[in-house]
Amino acid sequence: MSNRRSRQSSSAPRISDDQIIDLVTKLRQILPEIGQRRRSDKVSASKVLQETCNYIRNLNREVDNLSERLAQLLESVDEDSPQAAVIRSLLM
C-alpha cells in the first residue's frame, strides 16, 4: 500500500495515500448515508467527494428554504398577537 518510497517528497501539494484514507474516513463519518459499500479506498474516495458536494448543496438549499419559511412567518404574523410574541422571544 505504501507508494511513499517511490515518490519524491516535493513541495507539490499531493495527497499521500494515508492522508486520503484518513480524510475520506472522516468525510464518510459525517455524511449521513454513505454505506460501507466498497473496500477499495480509491474508488470510493471519488464517490465520497461527489456525495460531499451534493450534501453541501443540499444543506445550503435547506438554509435558503428555512430562511424563506421564517420570512413568511414574520410577514403573516400580526404585530400584537401572541404568535408574534412567541416568535419575537425565539428570535429577538
CA distances from 58 to 52, 66, 69, 79 (A): 10, 12, 16, 33
Q: Does 63 bind other proteins (CB under 8 A)?
A: yes
Residues 1-60 that bind other proteins (CB under 8 A): 3, 6-8, 10-15, 17, 19-20, 23, 26-27, 29-30, 42-43, 45-46, 49-50, 52-53, 55-57, 59-60
Query: 17-30 vs 41-76: helix axis angle to the nearest 10?
Result: 40
Whether residue 87 contacts residue 73, with contact meaning beta carbons closer than 8 Å, is answered with yes
User: Closer to other proteins at the Cβ: 33 or 75?
Assistant: 75
User: Closer to other proteins at the Cβ: 10 or 36?
Assistant: 10
Residues that bind other proteins (CB under 8 A): 3, 6-8, 10-15, 17, 19-20, 23, 26-27, 29-30, 42-43, 45-46, 49-50, 52-53, 55-57, 59-60, 62-64, 66-77, 79, 83, 86-87, 90-92
